[in-house]
Amino acid sequence: MPDQSINSKYQTELMKKQTAFALLFLLSLSLPLLAQVNRCSYVIPRHTDNWLFHRNSGIHFEDNSVSLISQPLSNLRVGLKTSTFSDVNGILLAYTDGAFVYNGNHERINFGDNLRGGTVSPSIIVPKPKSDNILYIFTIDIDYMNRPQGLFYSTVDLSLGGGVGSVSERNRELFPQTAGLISAVENRNKDGYWVVSRGLGNSSFYAFKVTSTGIEATPVESSNMGTALNDNQSDLLGTLKISPKGDRLSFCSYGRKVVELFDFDNETGRVSNPVTITLPDPLHVPDAAPYSLEFSKDGTKLYVNMYSLFNSPTAIFVNSRVYQYDLTNGMQMTLLNESPLAQNLNSLQLGRDGKIYITRQGSSALSVIGSPDRPGTACNFLDNGIDVPATDLLRFGLPTFIQSYFNNPHFDYDTKCDGDITEFWLHNPTYSDGTTTWDFGDAGNTTPGTGINPTHQFSGPGVYNVTVTERWNGESFTTTLQVIINQLPPKSFEAKGDSMYLFPGSRIPLDGGQGMFSYYWQDGSNNQYFDVDSPGLIVVEYEDMNCCRNSDSLKVIALDISLPNAFTPDGNGVNDYFKALGPSDGIEDFTLLIYNRWGQRIWEAKNFADKWDGTLNGQKLPSGVYAWYLTFNVIGNISSIGKVKYKGSVTLLR
């Protein structure tokens, strides 16, 4: 007997087209994207890519090399200590010698002259948090007698002056008496900075907080911290540095002949626990004293340059010595250059490649400490590391930077999700030979790695202690870091199974998953939610906050429910019952009622599989036409009419 179809398998061709499109979408799900750097990839800060120092000297850092750059000869004519600042992409934005400020095109910024900074005192450029255009330049003024006159700041707005930039605030005094020492570091929450200077005539440190609202004028003072400095010239010669991790601080004073080490709290700005570092005894040159210092990238080593400014004219350029102090091994001291150099070493500055660069007075060469994290002479001190020609070789200083920009891991890894092939690489592989090995700490996949750029597929999500062992000149150096492999986000439609039924005129609301970073549905939409109003294959790809991606698909089938318009309950096994026909797994709240011609209910079904045999209370009913009334809901469907309601008639034949 023919059926009375409630849904006559509508839109068959549309479903075929949608299914084909969705299958193509599934096959092309961002496979190329997984190999690209994403927002969760670690990228070394590039704010320190450009170094401009005395006269037209300059170097530029790239991922695997250092190249030469220059600026107009007139811009840094007498600057001994400069500061430069580049954006996140390494594009030069501004630089200063403490007295004048220039933009990345080497143009003097509007009103960018007469800053209260001395050409022999340090300055530092600090960006205003959450601003792309505002920079603060901190300077220390020095009078004609080389005495500090206070700590000042000026504000640069790069958006003003038709793109040239302008100094919108100039020479705002922060503190009246500070030594010519300054350093800066990011705070613990990474939403601001600390700018730290040393008091004059006392033994205090002053830490000024820089936030998105500006510079807090009242500093955090840490008093009774080590040796007090006076305002004579030799006392003020020296260096102040905060470690890249922001947990240590050190300063040296040439006049006081001291190097002191402290703890620094990058949450509160407080300095504590002074320790005086023992200097060589006897000194290699009479009257030698510390002039410059720098931390290694990991903060475990401190490098100090010592020489005499005031001994015989023939010795002034050849008496420098550089020492390493191992802060993890009882302050063990190692002399790095046994023989005097042809020119004195002056300022030390860490670079983003993890190496320390040192100016050489009277030389076009910069010395380089190639592996500062390694102990003793294994740090690979090189006299003539890089040649930087310039018209004037009387070099004393290198640019000053925010030290936390150098807080980079020893090695890094990318593609950090369960099932990924994770790639590893060393940030400074210069002194690692081809026998470098890796232990990935993965009990489920114990295959080791070799070389400076291995890959590994971890056995599952979790935290792994990965150890790299580098070898150079017969020595081994191990570094262990934690590596996190993230779980994939859960399947979006797991609770719904592989398929769902859609009743005509209804819609199925789907959720791509809570808390994802992005969504991409088969039709190109990118919302969390998607309403299905026609049958087909529904596909969603989604990425969580850890850049882990997953996808799910759901086949939506047009629900086709029908009932016979006649049946013959004669027991021959053919068309013996009246019942609903179609899939039952998409149906809920099902009711089917049968009435005779007088409106008497003679049969009721609550389950889709129930069937009527043409009887009432066990008695056969006569042939005739009977009315039926059907109601049900479709799982997951939302309809403007609510519950599905249909009625019709069936002929009983005997």
Please name which of 419, 490, 414 lies closest in space to residue 457, comparing C-alpha atoms. Answer: 419
Count of C-beta atoms within a 10 Å radius of residue 212? 11
Distances (CA, A) of 108 to 96, 161, 445: 10, 11, 58
Of the options 3.90.550, 3.40.30, 2.40.128, 2.60.40, the CATH number for the domain spanning 12-30+488-558: 2.60.40
Sheet holding 57-61, edge to edge: 50-53, 57-61, 66-68
Question: What is the model's pLDDT at position 414?
Answer: 93
Burial of 294 (0-12, 13-18, 19+ CB in 10 A): buried
Contact assessment for residue 336 and residue 329, using Cβ atoms and an 8 Å cutoff: no
State the Cα torsion 175-180-181-187 to the nearest 10°.
30
How far apart, in whole angstroms, are the C-alpha atoms of residue 568 and residue 565? Answer: 11
Cβ neighbourhood burial of 418 (10 Å; 0-12, 13-18, 19+): middle
**380-391 tens-digit pLDDT:** 999 889 988 776
644 contacts: CB under 8 Å, gap ≥ 6: 503, 630, 631, 632, 633, 634
Longest dimension (CA), the chain: 132
Contact between 359 and 346 (Cβ < 8 Å): yes
Task: Please give the C-alpha separations between residue 581 and each of 394, 424, 562, 564, in angstroms, as whole numbers.
Answer: 96, 59, 5, 8
Taken as a whole, the chain contains a residue count of 654
Q: What are the respective helix, strand and coil percentages of the chain, to the nearest 5?
A: 5, 45, 50
**What would the DSSP string read from start to end of 62-106?**
-SS-EEE----TTTTSS-SS-EEEE-TTS-EEEEE-SS-EEETTS
CATH of domain 563-652: 2.60.40
Domain locations in the chain? 12-30+488-558, 50-406, 418-485, 563-652
Dihedral sign from CA coordinates of 397, 402, 403, 408: negative
Question: Closest Cα partner for 212 from 274, 128, 297, 106?
Answer: 128
> Cis before residue 282, ω within 30 degrees of 0?
yes
For residue 41, give both structure tokens.
């990839």
Tell me, what amino acid is at 58? G
pLDDT given at position 560: 92
Q: How far is CA 439 from CA 446, 461, 481, in A?
A: 8, 17, 11
Q: How many CB atoms lie within 10 A of CB 18?
A: 19
Instruction: Supply the pLDDT for residue 53.
Output: 84
Query: Strands 644-652 and 566-567, how do they pair?
Result: parallel
What separation, in Å, do the N-terminal and C-terminal C-alpha atoms of the chain show? 14
Q: Do domains 50-406 and 563-652 have the same CATH topology?
A: no
Half-sphere exposure of 124 (CA within 13 A, CB side): 23
In sequence order, which residues have a C-beta less than 8 Å from that of residue 414 and are 6 or more positions away?
A: 37, 41, 42, 422, 423
Looking at residue 318, its pLDDT comes to: 59
pLDDT tens by residue, 350-360: 999 999 999 88
Task: Look at residue 341 in the predicted model and tell me its pLDDT.
Answer: 67
Q: Which residue has the tokens 């300077």?
A: 139
Superfamily for domain range 50-406: YVTN repeat-like/Quinoprotein amine dehydrogenase (2.130.10.10)
Residue 514: Cβ within 10 Å count = 9
Using an 8 Å Cβ cutoff, are 348 and 400 in contact? no
Burial of 600 (0-12, 13-18, 19+ CB in 10 A): exposed
CATH of 418-485, one of 3.10.450, 3.30.450, 2.60.40, 3.90.25: 2.60.40
DSSP H stretches of helix in 264-319: none
Which residues, given as ranges, of the chain have pLDDT below 50?
8-35, 312-316
pLDDT at 3: 61
Query: Is 221 buried (19+), middle (13-18) or exposed (0-12) by CB count in 10 A?
Result: middle
Of 198, 203, 204, the residue nearest 227 (C-alpha): 203
